Structures are given as structure tokens and as C-alpha cells.
Amino acid sequence: MDSIIPLGLRIMQWYERNGRNLPWRKDKNPYRVWISEVMLQQTRVETVIPYFKRWMKRFPNIKSLAESTENDVLSVWEGLGYYSRAHNLLKTARIIMREFGGKFPRNLESLKDLPGLGAYSSAAIASIAYNENQPAIDGNIRRVYSRLFDIRISMKTSLFERRIRRIAEQNLPHGRAGDFNQALMDFGAMICLPKQPKCTECPLEDRCLAFRRGVQNLLPMVGQATPIPHEQQAAAIIIHKRGKLSKVLLRKRSSKGLLAGLWEFPSVYVNTNQGQELARRFLSTFKLKLRKKSLFTTVKHSYSHFRVTLSAYAFTYNSGKITKDFKWVDLGDLSEYPMGKVNRLIADQLVLNPNER
């Protein structure tokens, strides 16, 4: 009887045949496990793969990372999103060099104290890199267990969390926690999908309570989504011609909050696209005296909790004090300034069509 084989063992058997071959699974040194786990926070495996390879080429170990600059780190990270993760990697690398003699801590509590590592990532690193018996509980695993054990409790509640944790601890195969955690994640990503789980291919079908009761599509119980506001923004492409050389004005964003530390074309929130009004907004926000010329391009984008439609206008620069957040940059050097997706798109268009300004 298959059903007397422990759950953990069956998942491991499935993993041995079906687990994914991923770059960070070849060599499980703590540095590689750490970088991959942080990249995988809120980000899909397929997206992470090329970033992980580039990162390892550029920063092969903790020391090389700790000795690099914020700009280097953001440049390699550019496009991955959630930029605080990149800032935290650099901070943590420096802490490890300074306070841990360059060696990654092994126990859960020390890991959790490092910037960017919470309950999930700490347990993932401890189990994968050091084979500590820690269940790593992420969204995949919550979904899998809530179905296998038919946990009909809102995912937001602490009761749900306690139930899942107890189940995860009880089913953890001691001595193989690292592989087991990864096996469950692959299982959640490949079989026990959020929408339309592949129950016909599932090796655990016969002992999934949700499947037996036909409620697998209703679990886990998630709250209803909150509506997402839509904002309008205007960005200024401000070109300054000095003979043959064209420079454009960039602004470095605050070190906190959205797109922290990245560069952008100065932008303001708007509810109008009147030239005069726009120029006034740039004057009051940035003390820049500008004159609007023409619409360059419009880009739509979604962030985590709002959407924007951003229109980029070409402006001519009259006067105004250039404070230290601002910098005149050669068009050819734009790629050296890390940017979020929207601004990179505009920068690329600008380099391609410098005449349409």
C-alpha cells in the first residue's frame, strides 16, 4: 500500500525523477544558496536564472560583493524589481565580512537578524546549505499543505499559520530537510498549481483531503484583492546642448521607498498635461525652470500597489539650481545609471531616436 509510505518520502521520490535542474542546485555553498533564495523572493525561477548566472560571474563570493559599490550591485540587479533586496544583499555581505569573519552564520536566529532574511529565507538557507532540520514555509508550501490536509481557514490568520507550521514540522524528514524543502517547492510550482492544479499527474492524489472532497480549487482561502489605484505622471526629458555634446538631466531617487537609489528622468504626479501647468509643477517640485516642447512617449506600468501611466515630454532648460540629486549625463552613458523598467525603456528610446525630442 502506497498510502503507508510517509508523505515526505513520496515527495522525495517524485523530486528525484522530476525535480528541476537549476544553476544554484549544483553547488550548495551558503553564498550561492543565499543569493538564489533572495532572488527567488517574489520572483519566478525562469526570471532568476540569467540574473543568478550574471551575478555569480560578477560577484563570485561574499568578499567580492562586500567590496563592490551600490551602483555596481544595482546595475546587475536592474530589472529584477524589489530593489531593497539588492541594497540588503550588499549590507549583509559587509556585515558578514566585518562581524562573522567572512563566514555565513549557520543557526536560524543569526540568519534571521541579517537584512533581507525573514523566517522563510533563513530556514531555506539553513536547511539547504547546512542541512539543518528546518521547514521552509513559503506560499507554495502553504498551498500544498492546505490542500493535502484540507485546511479551510483564511490564510491571513495566525491559526492557519500555526496549523501549517505543525504539519510542516511533523512531515519534515530529518536529515534531508534541504532536499525536501526544495522538493515541496518544485511540487507546488509544477503540480499543485494555484489555478488548475494537475491532480491527475499528482503522486499524492490518493491522500490529498482537498482532492478527495473536491475542494482543491478553493484552497488555500485567500482574501479578496484590494482595488489598485491608477496614477498619472509626467517625466521631463531635459536636454542641454553643448556644441556637439548632448546631455540629459537625471535624478537619483531617495535611498528609501519605491525604486530606492535608482536614477530617473525627473517626474511629477499630474492631473493635467497642459504645458504651462507641467512646467509649473517642475518648478515647484525641483526648482527647475523649463519650457515644454513636445510629447516624447507614453508608457504604462504596474507597481505592487498602484499603476501609472507616465508621459515623457521633451523640455528645454532655462535655468534653475542643479542640486546634488541631479546630474547631467551624456546620452551614451545612460546605461551606467541603474534605472527601473519604465525609465530604462524611455532611456533606450531616447538613445535610439535622439532626433524626436
Partner DNA sequence: CTCCAGCAGA
Partner DNA sequence: TCTGCTGGAG
Q: Does 156 bind DNA (CB under 7 A)?
A: yes
Return phi, psi of residue 78, to 5°. -50, 125
Residue 3 vs 304, nearer CB to DNA: 304
Please check whether residue 270 is in contact with residue 347, taking contact to mean a CB–CB distance below 8 angstroms.
no
Helix, strand, coil percentages for the chain (3-state, nearest 5): 50, 15, 35
> How far apart (Å, rounded) are the C-alpha atoms in residues 266 and 200?
53
Tell me the site size for DNA, rule CB under 7 A. Answer: 45
Q: Does 304 bind DNA (CB under 7 A)?
A: yes
Residue 73 vs 239, nearer CB to DNA: 73
Q: Does 320 bind DNA (CB under 7 A)?
A: no
User: Where are any strands of DSSP class E within the chain?
Assistant: 230-242, 245-252, 263-264, 267-269, 288-302, 307-320, 326-330
Residue 344 vs 357, nearer CB to DNA: 344
Residues in contact with 27: Cβ distance below 8 Å, sequence separation at least 6, in sequence order:
none
Of the candidate spans 176-184, 200-208, 232-240, 258-266, the one that interacts with DNA by CB under 7 A turns out to be: 258-266
Q: Which of 133, 150, 273, 303 binds DNA (CB under 7 A)?
A: 303
Q: Does 52 bind DNA (CB under 7 A)?
A: no
Shortest Å, Cβ 220 to DNA: 9
Residue type, 91: K
> How far apart (Å, rounded) are the C-alpha atoms in residues 180 and 55?
26
What does the block give as the cell for 214?
A: 473536491
Is 264 a catalytic site residue? Answer: no
Q: Does 260 bind DNA (CB under 7 A)?
A: yes
Q: Which of 33, 259, 334, 350 binds DNA (CB under 7 A)?
A: 259
Contact mark string toward DNA, 68..97, x via CB under 7 A: -----------xxxxxx---x---------
Shortest Å, Cβ 77 to DNA: 9
What does the block give as the cell for 104?
A: 555565513
From the candidates 16, 37, 161, 169, which is the catalytic residue? 37
Q: Does 203 bind DNA (CB under 7 A)?
A: no
* Cα angle for residues 59, 63, 66 (degrees, 5° grid): 80
Residue 214 vs 257, nearer CB to DNA: 257
Of the candidate spans 25-33, 65-73, 132-140, 273-281, the one that interacts with DNA by CB under 7 A turns out to be: 132-140
Residue 26 vs 305, nearer CB to DNA: 305
What is the distance, to the nearest Å, from the Cα of residue 272 to the centroid of all Cα atoms in its chain?
Answer: 32
> How far apart (Å, rounded) are the C-alpha atoms in residues 300 and 207?
46
What does the block give as the cell for 43?
A: 520572483
Return phi, psi of residue 103, to 5°. -110, 135
**Residue ranges binding DNA (CB under 7 A):** 41-44, 46-47, 79-84, 88, 115-122, 138-140, 143, 156, 188-189, 194-195, 222, 225, 257-260, 300-305, 340-342
User: What are the catalytic residues?
Assistant: 37
